[in-house]
Structure 1
Amino acid sequence: MTAAAPKGQNVSTAVMQRRVEPHDSLDDFPTPPWATRALCEWLKISAECAEEHPLMLAAREPCANRGHMVRVLCEYFATVDAADVHDYGAGFPVRDYLFGPDPELVDWTVMNPPFRLAEQFIQRGLRTSRHGIAVIVRSAFLEGVGRYRDLFSVMPPSDVLQFTERVPMHRGKLAGPGGTTATAYCWIIWRSRYQGSVTRFRWIAPCRGNLERDGDYPAEPGEFAPVDAGAVLI
């Protein structure tokens, strides 16, 4: 017989926001396109000079998955270097971002990294990005003594963008227009020109309704919205 939960305590894994992945898991939780557009729109208005405007820059997405984030980045960046450690059938090169020497510099690295490897992805992104990096992670990533000691206290982010709406990420498939979740997400951003400054915490106002586009959600598994082949570096 199992012990009953304390009265009033909801032990649902959804409510408790648990997302426990096996050590060898691919951590396959595709990012809804509107969540990436929210970041890109913020980058557009926060660029202090023309050289930093996303439309003029090169980006890297090392966790390309099925391409949902890559397709949005191609709307905002001149070129996107996209790859993944696993072949999801979207045509991207299979490449282990953490293996071997650092890749060539790009202007921005934007990614949804595997949660258990996020710190390593961030460290490599910081070394190989001229203007900055942005990672979308569970808001709980901001917690943790070890993470504070090894990452946030050493290299504090310039900005934290907390979604006021929930960003639905479902295992193994893109969450559709009606997708929901109990997990909170945020973008954590390191901008080179603000290295060492005080981290600014901001909220992303409700924007899902304005940032969803026709073609964001494939009708059948394996269907993908067109990608500008000239913008993606293969």
Structure 2
Amino acid sequence: MNGSNMAGGNPKNGRAENDYYATNPSDTKEFLELIDKEYRLDGSKIIEPAAGEGHIVNVLKSRYPHSKITSRDLVDRGIDEIESGVDFLSDNREEHYDFTITNPPFNIAKGFIDKSLKISDVAFIFAKLQFLEGVSRKPWFANVPLKYVYVYSHRANPWKNGQSTDENGKKLSSTMAFAWYVFDNSYTGSHIINWI
């Protein structure tokens, strides 16, 4: 058994191009319904820096019609409303947002969080629950304002290459656990675990 099998992947299917695993819109809606009780997003300034084809952005636009939403991605996927060719980690524009809301590539999620906390007050990050693991991340977690981890009680299923089904029309499923991580620059307390 190889590492991909143990992690719940199927090595025959391979990785998504550009590590593109879009967030299922229903998974975003479930999280926002809970977080809306504490954070006022409507009328705020939001950035989605790994927007893909707009899976998160479209939910945000529908739910928060009075917000100013900026959407960018490194890869051009042909969506006019998304500014493409922007590498979030090296983009040096002097901008400030109320919220960064994104599902970054897993291997650079830490960098996305660090950058998000520089340019926004609060960051909502969709990532594997496995992100909590890691010897190198342990001291990092002790020094970032992680307020909440919202763990899915059901299996969240990111969409490989932005598609909800495979090439045979079968609904995609994952054996990996996912969560939304809430980093809040104004927070100084202990981390809080919640469930979706």
Shared fold (TM-score, shorter chain, > 0.5): yes
Matched residues in 2 for 1:69 and 1:100: separation?
A: 21
- Determine the structure 2 residue equivalent to 1:83: 72
Stretches of structure 2 that go unaligned for 5 or more consecutive residues are none
Matching of residue 145 in structure 1 with residue 129 in structure 2: no
Matched residues in 2 for 1:160 and 1:170: separation?
A: 21
The Cα shift of 1:73 comes to 1.1
Change (3 A) 1:154 1:87: same
Matching of residue 185 in structure 1 with residue 178 in structure 2: yes
Matched residues in 2 for 1:102 and 1:160: separation?
A: 29
- Determine the structure 2 residue equivalent to 1:31: 23
Structure 1 residue corresponding to 2:50, chosen from 51, 60, 63 = 63
The 5 A counterparts of 1:121-200 are 121-130=112-121, 132-149=122-139, 151-176=140-165, 178-194=171-187, 196-200=188-192
Question: How well do the aligned residues superpose, as a CA RMSD in angstroms?
Answer: 2.3
The 5 A counterparts of 1:223-234 are none
The Cα shift of 1:34 comes to 0.9
Stretches of structure 1 that go unaligned for 5 or more consecutive residues are 6-10, 48-52, 205-234
Change (3 A) 1:19 1:129: farther
**AA matched with 1:76:** R
Q: Percent identity?
A: 24
CA contact (8 A) 2:9 2:174 kept: no
The aligned length equals: 185
The Cα shift of 1:191 comes to 2.0
Change (3 A) 1:203 1:14: farther
CA contact (8 A) 1:14 1:181 kept: no
- Determine the structure 2 residue equivalent to 1:224: none
Change (3 A) 1:32 1:202: same
**AA matched with 2:143:** V
* Higher gyration radius (CA): 1
Change (3 A) 1:18 1:143: farther
Q: SS of the counterpart of 1:56?
A: coil
CA contact (8 A) 1:31 1:174 kept: no
1:128-147 superposed Cα distances (whole Å, 9 cap, x missing partner): 112x0010001100100101
| Structure 1 runs, 4 residues or longer, greater than 4 Å off | 18-22
**AA matched with 2:53:** R
Change (3 A) 1:99 1:41: same
